[in-house]
């Protein structure tokens, strides 16, 4: 299939939606990701962009078509996906996000086991070449399974384990996540501290 090689960056895949990255692209990248890692079990999560649910669903479909079982974590910040990949012993993890880019962009961040990132030199270029040169392996006879999991409570416990909440004196804090994914996690953490929050 024709794919814009420019969306494959040094550390992730990123482009304009739907012109450069869309459901068809995401499905092929999902297949390539599983084929490159020879993975049997991966996790996928996404940010809050309007295009992210459709791209995540397409990526998951491609990964399952290639025989991998997928854990769908739903909407999560990228660092929580990395945490999930390690905690759940996955062979790969994927975050549908374009990070700081404007809303018309979307993208894909990918890690292997132990949340080690794929890069242009190791993985991302291989997946690009597989798709561009029609070298994706044939889909497996049996599709991979699909499960869902909420990993946020476990992540919050892990973050809280780094501090002693009892030594924090009461204070006021304003939480402004800038419409980003921190808005999902920060309130859960601050609720565990001796502070009064105002949430924008």
DSSP reduced 3-state for 172: strand
Q: Answer yes or no: do 33 and 86 share one domain.
A: yes
Burial profile 72-93: b = 16 or more Cβ within 10 angstroms, e = fewer: ebebbbbebbbbbbeeeebbbb
What residues make up the domain containing 171?
A: 163-199
In a domain, 189, yes or no: yes
| Rounded-to-integer distance, Cα 200 and Cα 197, Å | 10
| Rounded-to-integer distance, Cα 23 and Cα 61, Å | 10
User: Taking the chain, what is the end-to-end CA distance rounded to the nearest angstrom?
Assistant: 44
Q: Is 161 a catalytic residue?
A: no
Domain count, the chain: 2
Q: Which residues have CB under 8 Å from 137's CB, separation 6+?
A: 35, 66
| Rounded-to-integer distance, Cα 170 and Cα 174, Å | 13
The 10s digit of each residue's pLDDT in 44-98 is: 999 999 999 999 999 999 999 999 999 999 999 999 999 999 999 999 999 999 9
Give the per-residue pLDDT at 2. Answer: 80
Q: Answer yes or no: do 75 and 174 share one domain.
A: no
Q: Answer yes or no: do 167 and 116 share one domain.
A: no
The 10s digit of each residue's pLDDT in 134-179 is: 999 999 999 999 999 999 999 999 999 999 999 999 999 999 998 8
Q: Is the pLDDT of residue 1 over 80?
A: no
Q: Answer yes or no: do 81 and 167 share one domain.
A: no
In a domain, 112, yes or no: yes
Q: Answer yes or no: do 144 and 186 share one domain.
A: no
The 10s digit of each residue's pLDDT in 14-40 is: 999 999 999 999 999 999 999 999 999
Q: What is the CATH number of the domain that holds 63?
A: 3.40.120.10
Which one from 45, 52, 69, 99 is the annotated catalytic residue? Answer: 99
Cα angle vertex 125, ends 122, 127, to 5°? 100
Q: If you average pLDDT over residues 107-112, what whole number do you get?
A: 98
């Amino acid at each position: 299939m024709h794919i814009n090689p420019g969306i494959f960056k040094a550390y992730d895949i990123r482009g304009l939606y739907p012109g450069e990255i869309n459901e068809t692209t995401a499905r092929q990248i999902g297949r390539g990701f599983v084929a490159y890692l020879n993975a049997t079990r991966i996790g996928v999560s996404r940010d809050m962009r309007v295009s992210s649910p459709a791209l995540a669903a397409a990526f998951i479909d491609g990964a399952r078509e290639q025989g991998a079982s997928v854990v769908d974590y739903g909407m999560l910040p990228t660092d929580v996906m990395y945490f999930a990949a390690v905690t759940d012993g996955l062979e790969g993890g994927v975050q549908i996000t374009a990070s700081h880019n404007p809303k018309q962009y979307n993208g894909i961040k990918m890690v292997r086991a132990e949340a080690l990132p794929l890069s242009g030199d190791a993985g991302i270029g291989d997946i690009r070449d597989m798709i561009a040169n029609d070298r994706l392996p044939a889909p497996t006879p049996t599709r991979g399974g699909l499960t869902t999991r909420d990993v946020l409570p476990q992540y919050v416990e892990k973050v809280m384990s780094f501090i002693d909440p009892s030594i924090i004196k009461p204070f006021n804090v304003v939480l402004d996540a800038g419409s980003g994914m921190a808005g999902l996690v920060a309130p859960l953490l601050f609720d565990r501290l001796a502070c009064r929050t105002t949430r924008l």
